[in-house]
């Protein structure tokens, strides 16, 4: 089923202590739900500073870890769908950058393990290598909810148009992207990527970023945004800690695709894209 709903994005400031981050996330989820959000989204690595060295230290195994307990309890207490940003997840001896999705009874619905790891050496000196401590996910994730189908990807995943397209071909109406772009690639590419994936696929895109902390080793760009299927920005944050909201009507997708039938006009007789899963 698809119907109108409100989405809330918690652009939270991530601190050094995990417990402080869990408390902050919990209170922002409460506020977002109190303001009518049926889907609430947290940012990438919301329980842990974005630093490869720290991921093993903050990692948790599902379902025992306290972050999962908080997310499940929060989803149930507020009666919402919760896309729990991402956190370092320990699984079978590996650590993944994983987003967990819970339903309104606190039930676990799905998880997405980041597929494309951020391993870069940028000209301004920003060097980040997630693969030093993280393993690559292998599964494309689309979660059915009572209001819309959510395609879940994490940060760098948005740079790979094949992934978004496959999620959309699997039925995603909304691409949900916990993220943390930086002060180099953020101003250049963040909004452009969110809007391009929305326009390419005629879907909503929710980019949930961490707030900017200029004293952190990795400075987040912030600027969380919710983009409509026409490529229009319907809600946007600046760099500070805040919650943004948008009313999302999946019916808009059908109207836009009727008027401009991009998916129908694909030349699958000439090219096609398929997942290996």
Ligand X SMILES: O=C(O)CCC(=O)C(=O)O
Of residues 7 through 46, those in contact with ligand X by CB under 6 A are: 44
- The answer to whether the beta carbons of residues 151 and 275 sit under 8 Å apart is no
Query: By C-alpha distance, which of 121, 154, 145 is closest to 43?
Result: 154
User: How far is residue 247's CA from residue 228's CA, in Å, rounded to a whole number?
Assistant: 10
114, 130, 191, 239: which one is catalytic? Answer: 114
CB 140 within 8 A of CB 277: yes
Which x/- pattern over 89-128 shows residues binding ligand X (rule: CB under 6 A)? -----------------------------x----------
Known active-site residue 155: yes
Which residues within the stretch 145-174 sit at the binding site for ligand X (CB under 6 A)? 155-156, 159
Task: Give Cα 190 distance to the centre of its chain.
Answer: 13
User: Quick one: 44 or 213, whose CB is closer to ligand X?
Assistant: 44
Strands 204-209 and 174-179, by their bridges, are parallel
Contact region with ligand X (CB under 6 A), list: 104-112, 176-184, 198-206, 267-275: 176-184
Task: Looking at 53-209, list the stretches that DSSP marks H as alpha helix, in order from N- to C-terminal side.
Answer: 55-58, 66-78, 161-169, 185, 191-201
Does 58 help bind ligand X (rule: CB under 6 A)? Answer: no
- Nearest distance from C-beta of residue 193 to ligand X, angstroms: 8
CB of 32 vs ligand X, minimal distance in Å: 23
Segment 182-211, which members bind ligand X (CB under 6 A)? Answer: 182, 185, 189
Q: Which of 145, 149, 178, 175 is nearest to 163 (CA)?
A: 175
CB of 232 to ligand X, least distance (A): 23
Among 46, 100, 102, 181, binds ligand X (CB under 6 A): 181
Closest CB 143 distance from ligand X, rounded Å: 20
State both tokens at 208. Answer: 């949930």
- Whether residue 114 lies in the annotated active site: yes
> Quick check: 41 and 7 in contact, CB under 8 A?
yes
Write out the catalytic residue numbers.
44, 114, 155
- Residues engaged in binding ligand X (CB under 6 A): 44, 118, 155-156, 159, 180-182, 185, 189
């Amino acid at each position: 089923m698809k119907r109108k709903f409100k989405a809330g994005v918690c652009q939270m400031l991530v601190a050094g202590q995990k417990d402080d981050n869990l408390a902050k996330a919990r209170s922002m989820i409460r506020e977002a739900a109190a303001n009518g959000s049926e889907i609430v989204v947290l940012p990438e690595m919301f329980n842990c500073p974005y630093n490869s060295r720290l991921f093993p230290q903050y990692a948790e195994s599902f379902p025992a870890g306290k972050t999962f307990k908080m997310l499940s309890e929060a989803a149930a207490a507020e009666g919402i769908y919760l896309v729990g940003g991402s956190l370092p997840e320990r699984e079978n001896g590996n650590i993944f950058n994983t987003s967990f999705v819970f339903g309104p009874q606190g039930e676990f619905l799905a998880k997405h393990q980041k597929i494309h790891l951020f391993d870069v050496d940028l000209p301004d000196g920003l060097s980040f290598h997630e693969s030093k401590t993280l393993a690559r996910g292998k599964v494309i994730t689309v979660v059915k909810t009572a209001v819309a189908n959510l395609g879940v990807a994490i940060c760098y995943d948005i740079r790979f148009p094949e992934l978004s397209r496959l999620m959309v071909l699997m039925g995603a109406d909304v691409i949900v992207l916990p993220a943390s772009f930086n002060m180099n690639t953020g101003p250049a590419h963040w909004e452009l990527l969110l809007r391009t994936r929305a326009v390419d696929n005629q879907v909503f895109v929710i980019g949930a970023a961490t707030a900017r902390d200029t004293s952190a080793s990795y400075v987040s760009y912030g600027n969380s945004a919710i983009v409509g299927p026409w490529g229009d920005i319907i809600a946007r944050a600046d760099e500070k800690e805040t919650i943004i909201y948008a009313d999302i009507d999946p019916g808009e997708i059908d109207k836009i695709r009727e008027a401009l039938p991009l998916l129908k006009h694909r030349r699958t007789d000439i090219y096609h894209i398929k997942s290996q899963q």
